[in-house]
């Protein structure tokens, strides 16, 4: 992440990494916006701010988080509506305005996701699909999961989980005994149905088992990750191991699809940790 921030700074482009579900992260964004628009806010009675990005990147979720914080920072007289959010791209289909502040009146405009008319290469399309910007049905869950496994394996990411899988679950169980309410609140991530302790144990145990499975299969792999055939063999083996780790019935007719869906859900909800799909461009591409 820091490499990307440095890259944008080198091109004189301001970059602020945020998590739309993190209150402290959104606070940083609001502080920056206030600083940038301070003079404008002093002389303009109404301000319009548009949130633009690729589909399903979290624009509406960000607006809703801003809405919650804005209530305490800028009193608003009338009741405010919320932006619709969902796990699939295409939930926002029209530009919609949401009032965030009064005196001056500040409106944030939510917009449908935008993409280039043509995706130039297959890998770029797979990255966008993996990130949820393109519907899974366009590519297929199994192929997306295969691509994710290829990315993780070639980067050696599962080997970095070795120090986590042994003590992580035990540590979480211990933390839950000490302060269950706060841990559950962090893990449920705004689920519609509240999670209890047993559900948290189950989810974290599943995550640890998936990480352990991928770590072990990659550690035992004797082929070359640079050889496409060897990599395919490894991924096929990992699908079989993940089927067992995720407790999907062996005779399930669509077992690989079920494995793919569960694995992608863990990735997209951040349970497997942060993964940056794009490499930072060469320094020679930077503007001096």
d(CA 16, CA 5): 8
Residue 279 main-chain phi, psi, to 5 deg: -80, 150
Which helix (DSSP H) or strand (DSSP E) does residue 274 occupy?
none
Which is more confident, 176 or 265? Answer: 265
- Does the structure show a pLDDT above 80 at 234? yes
Whose CA is closest to 56, among 111, 14, 95?
111
> pLDDT digits over 71-82, tens only?
766 555 455 555
> Could you give the 3-state DSSP secondary structure of residue 26?
helix
Give me the pLDDT at residue 90, please.
46
Residues constituting the chain: 288
**For the residues 137-149, what does the mean pLDDT come to?**
94
Give me the pLDDT at residue 253, please.
74
Which is more confident, 203 or 136? Answer: 136
- Does the structure show a pLDDT above 70 at 246? yes
> pLDDT digits over 180-221, tens only?
554 444 445 545 555 556 666 778 889 999 999 999 999 999
Give me the pLDDT at residue 21, please.
80
Give me the pLDDT at residue 91, please.
47
> Could you give the 3-state DSSP secondary structure of residue 8?
helix
Mean pLDDT of the chain: 79
> pLDDT digits over 151-183, tens only?
999 999 999 998 766 655 455 455 545 555 544
**φ/ψ bin of 140: left (φ > 0), alpha (ψ from -120 to 50), beta (otherwise):** left
- Is the Cα dihedral 123, 275, 32, 25 positive or negative? positive
Give me the pLDDT at residue 288, please.
45
Give me the pLDDT at residue 62, please.
85
> pLDDT digits over 67-126, tens only?
777 776 655 545 555 545 444 444 444 566 777 777 777 788 877 778 877 888 889 899
Whose CA is closest to 83, among 106, 107, 48, 54?
107
Q: CB of 241 within 8 A of CB of 217?
A: yes
> Could you give the 3-state DSSP secondary structure of residue 94?
coil
> pLDDT digits over 21-74, tens only?
888 888 888 888 888 877 787 787 788 888 888 888 888 888 888 877 777 665
d(CA 277, CA 9): 20
Q: Sorting pLDDT into bands at 50, 70 and 90, what band is 14? A: confident
At residue 198's C-alpha, the angle toward residues 184 and 179, to 5°, is 40
Give me the pLDDT at residue 113, please.
78
Give me the pLDDT at residue 4, please.
87
User: Quick one: how many helices (H) and strands (E) in the chain?
Assistant: 13, 3
Give me the pLDDT at residue 212, please.
94
Q: Sorting pLDDT into bands at 50, 70 and 90, what band is 239? A: very high
d(CA 180, CA 194): 13
Most confident of 5-14, 150-159, 275-284: 150-159
């Amino acid at each position: 992440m820091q490499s990307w921030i440095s890259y944008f700074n080198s091109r004189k482009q301001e970059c602020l990494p945020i998590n739309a579900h993190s209150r402290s992260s959104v606070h940083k964004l609001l502080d920056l916006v206030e600083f940038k628009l301070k003079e404008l806010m002093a002389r303009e009675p109404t301000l319009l701010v548009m949130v633009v990005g690729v589909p399903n990147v979290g624009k509406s979720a960000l607006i809703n988080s801003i809405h919650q914080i804005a209530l305490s920072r800028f009193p608003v007289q009338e009741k405010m509506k919320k932006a619709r959010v969902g796990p699939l791209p295409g939930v926002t289909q029209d530009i919609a305005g949401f009032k965030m502040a009064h005196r001056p009146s500040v409106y944030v405009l939510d917009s449908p996701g935008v993409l280039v008319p043509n995706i130039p290469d297959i890998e770029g399309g797979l990255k966008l699909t993996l990130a949820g910007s393109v519907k899974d049905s366009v590519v297929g869950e199994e192929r997306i999961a295969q691509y994710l496994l290829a990315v993780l394996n070639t980067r050696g990411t599962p080997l970095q989980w070795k120090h986590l899988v042994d003590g992580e679950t035990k540590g979480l169980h211990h933390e839950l005994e000490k302060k269950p309410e706060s841990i559950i609140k962090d893990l449920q991530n705004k689920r519609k149905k509240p999670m209890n302790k047993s559900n948290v144990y189950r989810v974290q145990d599943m995550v640890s088992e998936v990480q352990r499975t991928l770590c072990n299969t990659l550690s035992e792999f004797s082929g070359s990750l640079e050889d496409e055939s060897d990599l395919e063999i490894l991924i096929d083996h990992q699908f079989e191991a993940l089927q067992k780790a995720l407790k999907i019935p062996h005779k399930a007719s669509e077992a690989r699809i079920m494995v793919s869906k569960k694995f992608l859900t863990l990735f997209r909800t951040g349970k497997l940790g942060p993964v940056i799909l794009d490499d930072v461009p060469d320094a020679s591409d930077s503007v001096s």
